[in-house]
Structure 1
């Protein structure tokens, strides 16, 4: 048996936990640099505030309808997500964190459990311990648990936020209810293609011949079809090391100052290097990108990238940052205002298994230095130890004019109660 646990309007729910005044009020959360709407409460959805709405175009609408608009508070959301996932691991050890607000669970050896009751227990514990409302869908396969979750979310009064597909009749009824474009794993183009084939619902998709699906689509869609038929074909994903690591950000404003851009690139490079060390890997290549604001048609446009090939693999912040800064200096053009930059490390190899070079090697002092830096940053958090060419006050510079306090990750923002 599988379950999909999904947090309802997660970003909004996190804000409401610490600000009860937002309960029952329409709320919208903005993307990086306060750009567009990326999360809405049910009240905001009812007012027809669209997902992805640019806030500068919808500001008057939000004010007219008393919609509370907030900046994204990623430290808070990340911490609350970790709390929810840790609670889920109390119910089964087999948990796949699918995104910041949802996870798949697998139940092995739970044949005699009442899954509706078990799902209700999960939902109540998460709500009691974190204040985050959730919906739980349970079924014999991953794809069907996604369908069950949609039903629990769509009909909260009838399901009490928990729905279990535990019979053939329930499976068929659910698949006939679900539109083909809403099936997990079927995108817009594939949905259009299947609709032309006569598939209007998920049930129609399961009626296609296996040979046609395999020949005209792919093995991925065939596995999805089998999963929807109740034959478990999609397993929980195991955590594996990444084949490339990227840190890319939009700036809060456009900049034509090379020193500022070099500092941003140094910070992005340091983030990539830290992630490399966490997964015990090193990189052979570094890609640096820099681009202007393509939305400003009248401004001078420029996009460039540089790839650096290293003589020997490294995960040293010193080396990666130095090479990345050199690359962005070569890309930079005077008179161009840049909006976005990024660093990508590629050609990853495990630290304990790579080709040695006879004449090229990394400074042996770097490894113990990186261990010391990582140890201090893990102990004191907030990346207290940085390179000299980084901003010592702030890691990510974003326009966040409507930011709520970091209630759970910053001691200065902790809620104070007067008794």
Structure 2
């Protein structure tokens, strides 16, 4: 059996844990640089605040409906998520963290357990230890556990936050209830094609023939169909090494001078290199991206990217940063006000196992230097050692004018009990 544990209105719930006055109040959480709404409490949804709403257009609406608006407090959300996931590991060793607020659990050898009661224990412990409310859906497959979780979330009074699909009758009833567009793994394009075939519910999807699904779509959709039928085909994901690593950011303000952009690109490239070393990978190429503010239609627009290949795989901040800066100089256009830049490292291979080149190789001094820098930065935090083309006084700062305190990750923001 599988369970999906989902934190209810996670970002809003994190804010409420440390500020109880926000309970039952409509809450909205904004994206990077306080751009648009990325999370809403049930109360905010009820008054009609849409997902993705640009806050500058909906400011008066939020004031009229007394919606409390917050900047994204990622240090707080990440720490609270980590606490929830550590609690889940106490109930089963088989846990797949699916997102910041969701995790799949697999129950092997739990045949004699009352899983509905066990799910209630999970909810109670998480709520007691962290203050975060959750819903638990239990079923024979991952896809069905998603469906069960939606039922638990939709009918909290009837289910008490836990719903178990344990029989064929309950499976069919659940699949007939859930709309095809709400099924996990079915995107907009796929739902249009399925609706054209007459599929309006998850149950309709399971009535299609296996051969037609495989021939029309792919093995992925066939596995989803079998999972919804109660035949487990989607297993827990094993931790894997990333195939590409990206660092992309929007500027707090637009920049048109190349020096500022070069410094940011160097910083982002260095960040990618540090992530490479952390997962013991090296890259064959980097992609550098640069774009203007697409929301300012009255200004000249420019969106461009370029690829740089290395003759040998590398994880050196020195090499990756130098090539990224050279790349951005080649695509920079004078007079454009740029809003977003990014660096992606790709073509990843294990650092200790790759094809050597007869004529080109990395400077052997780079490896011990990078290792020493990583050790010092981990020990003292805050990237104390930087490259010469980075601003030594500057750290990346988003516009966060509505930021709540970092209650659990900054000693200066910790709650004081009087």
TM over 0.5: yes
1:232-264 Cα shifts (integer Å, max 9, x gaps)? 011111111111111111111211021211121
1:252 is matched with: 252
Report what 1:185 is aligned to: 185
Measured after TM superposition, the shift of residue 394 of structure 1 is: 4.8
Distance in structure 1 (CA, Å) of the matches to 2:200 and 2:42: 27
Q: Which residue in the other structure is 1:82 paired with?
A: 82
Number of equivalences: 418
Report the Cα offset of residue 381 of structure 1: 2.9
Which residue in 1 is equivalent to 2:284?
284
Q: Distance in 2 between matches of 1:114 and 1:383?
A: 49
For the residues of structure 1 that align with 2:380 and 2:407, how far apart are their CA atoms? 17
Hey, what does 2:53 align to over in structure 1? 53
Aligned-pair CA distance for 1:142: 0.2
The Cα offsets for residues 89-127 of structure 1, whole Å up to 9 and x where unpaired, read as 111111111111101111111111110111111111111
Structure 2 unaligned residues grouped into runs of 5+ = none
Change (3 A) 1:75 1:107: same
Match of 2:198 in 1: 198
CA distance in 1, matches of 2:186, 2:291: 32
1: distance between equivalents of 2:31 and 2:394?
19
Give the secondary structure class of the aligned counterpart of 1:85. helix
Q: State the alpha-carbon separation in 2 of the partners of residues 391 and 23 from structure 1.
A: 42
**Mapped partners of 1:195, 1:79: distance in 2:** 41
Structure 2 distance, partners of 1:31, 1:117, is: 37
CA distance in 1, matches of 2:299, 2:7: 42
- When structure 1 is superposed on structure 2, of 76-85 and 360-369 the one drifting more is 360-369
Structure 1 unaligned residues grouped into runs of 5+ = none
Match of 2:31 in 1: 31
Partners of 1:194 and 1:30 in 2: CA distance: 34
User: Residue 307 of structure 2 corresponds to which residue in structure 1?
Assistant: 307
Cα distance change of structure 1 residues 42 and 166 upon mapping to structure 2, 3 Å threshold: same
| CA RMSD of superposed structures (Å) | 1.3
Q: 1:347 aligns to what SS in structure 2?
A: strand
Question: Hey, what does 1:412 align to over in structure 2?
Answer: 412
CA distance in structure 2 between the partners assigned to 1:384 and 1:411 by the alignment:
20
Q: What is the CA-CA distance between 1:61 and the residue it aligns to?
A: 0.5
Shift of 1:382: 3.1
Instruction: Label 1:110 to 1:301 Cα distance change in 2 as closer, same or farther (>3 A).
Output: same
Distance 1:417 1:267 in 2: 40
Query: How far off its partner does 1:393 sit?
Result: 4.7
Give the distance between the partners of 2:279 and 2:271, measured in 1 at CA: 13
Cα offset, 1:387, TM superposition: 2.3
What's the counterpart of residue 370 of structure 1? 370
- The match for 1:107 is 107
Secondary structure of 1:348's aligned partner = strand
Partner of 2:209: 209
- Cα distance in 2, alignment partners of residues 393 and 110 from structure 1: 55
